[in-house]
């Protein structure tokens, strides 16, 4: 298999915030000495985003419902039907989200949770057993309810943070554009988000957060 050509295709696809899966390839007739020609059959998709919704919030303020209406996320109200082995955006997780989670995210998707804080631990405990829990790094909310508060993110802001870190900037921006206040989230957090995006591991992201807190 021509690995160099395949890796180039993957890099181009990733540049546009997509993911690629090789279905099959074949070698075709060469028309010049020393030159090989291949045909690749590749499926192009995106990081899938899902949301477990417990119906415990104000529907008018629910960003997850709006994301689902516009086709950005798949809404699931049965916790047992949420995707297995996905990256679970879990504020109680011991490991920090980073670019090293991209392989799992591309394969199994990213899952966020919409429930009341009173019942949050129970929901996350159940999902933690079937998913890969990750805590998002330090960012500041801009939603009207928790403006200026660190970590107090809506589902929209949580997904945008994760996608931005995974270089899916275009999709993050498209999501945020659903709300008038959405674009300000990137304006306010662009500096730390760009640093997290450059980091290759959870450990590096944590070092960046420590530097931010000291600064």
What are the domain boundaries of the chain? Answer: 3-45, 49-214
Rounded Cα gap, residues 86 and 131, in angstroms = 5
Cα end-to-end span (Å), the chain? 49
Per-residue pLDDT of the chain in tens (215 residues, 90 and over written 9): 567 776 776 676 655 545 666 667 777 766 666 677 777 776 665 568 999 998 877 777 899 999 999 999 999 999 999 999 999 999 999 999 999 999 999 889 999 998 877 777 888 889 999 999 999 999 999 999 999 999 999 999 999 999 999 999 999 999 999 999 999 999 999 999 999 999 999 999 999 999 987 75
Instruction: Give residue-wise pLDDT tens across range 70-90.
Output: 999 999 999 999 999 999 999
Contacts of 38 (CB under 8 A, 6+ apart): 2, 5, 25, 26, 27, 28
What average pLDDT does the structure give for the chain?
87
Output the CA torsion sign for 53, 105, 135, 192. Answer: negative
User: Is 0.85 topped by the overall pTM?
Assistant: no
């Amino acid at each position: 298999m021509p690995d160099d050509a395949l890796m180039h295709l993957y890099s181009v696809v990733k540049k546009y915030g997509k993911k690629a899966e090789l279905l099959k390839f074949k070698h075709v007739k060469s028309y010049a000495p020393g030159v090989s020609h291949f045909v690749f059959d590749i499926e192009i998709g995106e990081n899938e985003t899902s949301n477990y919704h417990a119906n415990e919030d104000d529907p008018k303020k629910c960003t997850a419902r709006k994301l689902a209406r516009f086709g950005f996320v798949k809404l699931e109200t049965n916790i047992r039907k949420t995707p297995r082995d996905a990256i679970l955006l879990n504020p109680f997780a011991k490991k920090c989200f980073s670019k090293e989670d991209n392989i799992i995210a591309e394969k199994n998707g990213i899952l966020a949770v919409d429930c009341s804080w009173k019942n949050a631990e129970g929901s996350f405990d159940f999902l933690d057993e079937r998913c890969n829990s990750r805590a998002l790094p330090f960012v500041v909310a801009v939603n009207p309810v928790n403006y200026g508060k660190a970590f107090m993110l809506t589902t929209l802001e949580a997904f945008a943070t994760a996608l931005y870190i995974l270089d899916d900037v275009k999709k993050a921006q498209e999501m945020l554009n659903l709300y008038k206040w959405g674009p300000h989230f990137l304006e306010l957090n662009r500096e730390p988000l760009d640093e997290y995006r450059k980091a290759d591991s959870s450990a590096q992201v944590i070092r960046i957060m420590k530097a931010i807190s000291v600064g």
